[in-house]
Structure 1
Amino acid sequence: MNFQDIGRLSKLEHLLLHINQLNGTLPSSLKNCTRLITLNLRVNLLGSELSTFDFSKFSQLQIVDLGNNFFNGSFPATLASCRALTAIRLSTNRLTGEIHPAIQSLKSLSFLSLSNNSLSNIARTMKFLSSCKNLRTLLLSKNFCNEYLPYDESLVGPDGFENLQLLALGGCNFSGFLPIEITTLERLVASDKSANQVDLWYLELPVLVEPDNISALQYNRLSNLPPTIDLNDNNFQGTIPEKIGQLNFLHVLDLRKNYFSGNIPDTVAELSNLEKLDLSFNSFSGEIPVSFKKLHFLSSFSVANNNLQGLIPSGGQFDTFPATSFEGNSGLCGSILQRSCPDHQSTNSEPPSKSTSPETFWFVFWICFGASFSVTFVTYGILLKRCPIKCYYRIRSTFFKL
């Protein structure tokens, strides 16, 4: 049967044709499959303007996955008519414009992935999506190119995203400051993976590590995802919040390719489970905190291309990192860069060891020896003057015993 004739299966509930070579458009006959619960056409060659397809007849539709295709146009507003929807993936397509405000009516929506499109207006998008109270996974990476990220509560709001556990905003080239409201998202999974409630939560759709690769590693359970903060390749500025150290179970902190500045906070060393720390290509200054040697699980580390200075810590995991982890910092020094440190440059360095040449040792010895004998004989001279007979015999007997 031809794909365009799929509507003949009017009682079809689950359509799974992902990772094939299907091309053309969504069949108009698909509208006859009003009992559809799952529609998965991910990783194909389908195209056309997605907003022209009417999804309103799919009242039972719970999962729609059209990721990794060639759909264009705007976000299909008729998807909001599918009130039973729990998961939507439209990532890696050619969608443009803003998300339709009708998405706020999807109260059961738990998973939304729109990464790698050309969507716009991050502020309105987050405002609309904050009304989806059951939303737990939100992937918006590689959208909203070069937009300014609001710093106030307009981005998240005091009551927004109360159940959000996974948030991706990487590769958007955002400018502005890191929104402080992100720290209010208490359910983000930078928490203990052993928590029972997390272990039992399966993702409605798998999260792909490399979406453009059909054989890429995928995660089907939220607890298997390493607790991560990944904000690389944006235009964030300002400093890293001191409270970052409270995310005790964080495994990955990736802030590379931004405009963060100031000193690297010592509280990062409190992230005892950290496995990857990438602060490269920023404007950090000051020294690398020597307390970072306490990060015993750190296997990947880079502060390359910043304005750091001083001695690179040694010992612990720092003895395993290559020189490329520190390059591009003209003020850094240490054996790994084969660059010596001036004595005054680093407060992290140990005080220089005091070595004394043999000539200096014997010179000081004879000076001290002569001075001590001088004091001794002067003292004895005074004693002899005061008690010439008794003291004389005591002094003589003392010297002969020595």
Structure 2
Amino acid sequence: MALDGTIPSQLGNLSFLVSLDLSNNTFTGHLPDELVHLRRSKFVNLWFNKFSGHLPSGLGALGRLQQLILGNNSFTGTIPPSLFNMSKLETLILYSNILQGMIPQHIGNLRNLKILDIQHNQLTSSLPLAIFNISSLQAIAFTNNSISGSLPMDVSHRLSNLQGLYLSYNEINGKIPSSLMS
């Protein structure tokens, strides 16, 4: 719709909102902290905008959220560990931002996660082993970061639903588990 400007903090007053899709616009600025009041939300899509600043740690309070799509923006800073309090989250897309630092070990709390896409950022941690305990995962996309470490040899047994594993342009080392070849 070619909408632009900033997101007003009053958006947080829409506490009845279940779905918020502002994707493919040119919104700028920071996400208002008041988004934490959207407690009924199951779907938040802010893909392809020009948002900047840190990801609000309060987003972790959105306990009903199933999809959080914040890709193709200019978010900076680290991934707040509070995001991993969203126990119903199935899709987390932070693709193509300027996020730095580590992938928090708390990621293992997301037991319903199916899609994890944090490609094209500036993450520098080692592969968090907790990811390999999320049996619901179907896709893991870490391409183009500086993630190090190696894959567990039993990765295909731990992640029996895995359909896509994207690790190129990182600093992954070690052997490719033979179980991935079958």
1:303 corresponds to which of 151, 167, 176:
167
RMSD of Structure 2 on Structure 1 (CA) = 2.4
Aligned counterparts of 1:141 and 1:268: Cα–Cα separation in 2? 24
1:271 corresponds to which of 113, 120, 134:
134
Aligned counterparts of 1:169 and 1:108: Cα–Cα separation in 2? 21
Task: Identify the residue that residue 148 of structure 1 maps to in structure 2.
Answer: 53
Corresponding position: 1:250 with 2:113:
yes
Corresponding position: 1:169 with 2:74:
no
Query: Any idea what the Cα deviations from partners look like across 1:96-143, whole Å, max 9, x if unmatched?
Result: 1112344344343332211111112223x3x23333443333221222
Q: Quick one: structure 1 residues 179 and 144, their matched pair in 2 at CA, closer, same or farther if it must change by over 3 Å?
A: farther
CA contact (8 A) 2:149 2:171 kept: yes
Secondary structure of 1:128's aligned partner: helix
Q: Which ranges in structure 2 are unaligned for 5 or more consecutive residues? A: none
Relative to the length of structure 2, the TM-score reads: 0.84
Aligned counterparts of 2:136 and 2:151: Cα–Cα separation in 1? 19
Task: Identify the residue that residue 108 of structure 1 maps to in structure 2.
Answer: 16
Task: Identify the residue that residue 232 of structure 1 maps to in structure 2.
Answer: 95
Q: Quick one: structure 1 residues 118 and 177, their matched pair in 2 at CA, closer, same or farther if it must change by over 3 Å?
A: same
Q: Quick one: structure 1 residues 111 and 236, their matched pair in 2 at CA, closer, same or farther if it must change by over 3 Å?
A: same
2:155 corresponds to which of 292, 296, 305:
292
Secondary structure of 1:263's aligned partner: coil
CA contact (8 A) 2:84 2:107 kept: no
Query: Any idea what the Cα deviations from partners look like across 1:150-188, whole Å, max 9, x if unmatched?
Result: 5xxxx24399535444322111132211122212334xx
Secondary structure of 1:129's aligned partner: helix
Q: Which has the larger Rg?
A: 1
Relative to the length of structure 1, the TM-score reads: 0.41
Aligned counterparts of 2:39 and 2:160: Cα–Cα separation in 1? 38
What residue identity is the alignment partner of 1:167?
Answer: L
What residue identity is the alignment partner of 1:120?
Answer: T
Query: Any idea what the Cα deviations from partners look like across 1:179-204, whole Å, max 9, x if unmatched?
Result: 22212334xx33xxxxxxxxxxxxxx
What residue identity is the alignment partner of 1:306?
Answer: N
CA contact (8 A) 2:29 2:53 kept: no
User: Going by fraction, where is strand more abundant, 1 or 2?
Assistant: 2
Q: Quick one: structure 1 residues 159 and 249, their matched pair in 2 at CA, closer, same or farther if it must change by over 3 Å?
A: closer
Q: Quick one: structure 1 residues 101 and 259, their matched pair in 2 at CA, closer, same or farther if it must change by over 3 Å?
A: closer
Q: Which ranges in structure 1 are unaligned for 5 or more consecutive residues? A: 1-92, 191-226, 321-402
Q: CA deviation at 1:310?
A: 2.1
Aligned counterparts of 1:247 and 1:132: Cα–Cα separation in 2? 20
Aligned counterparts of 1:290 and 1:234: Cα–Cα separation in 2? 31
Query: Any idea what the Cα deviations from partners look like across 1:3-51, whole Å, max 9, x if unmatched?
Result: xxxxxxxxxxxxxxxxxxxxxxxxxxxxxxxxxxxxxxxxxxxxxxxxx
Consecutive aligned runs of 4 or more in structure 1 exceeding 4 Å deviation: none
Q: CA deviation at 1:308?
A: 1.9
Corresponding position: 1:313 with 2:177:
yes
Aligned counterparts of 1:296 and 1:283: Cα–Cα separation in 2? 26
Task: Identify the residue that residue 379 of structure 1 maps to in structure 2.
Answer: none
- Which structure ranks higher in relative contact order (CA pairs < 8 Å, sequence separation ≥ 6)? 2
**Paired residues, what number?**
181
Task: Identify the residue that residue 181 of structure 1 maps to in structure 2.
Answer: 82
Percent identity for Structure 1 against Structure 2: 28
What residue identity is the alignment partner of 1:176?
Answer: G
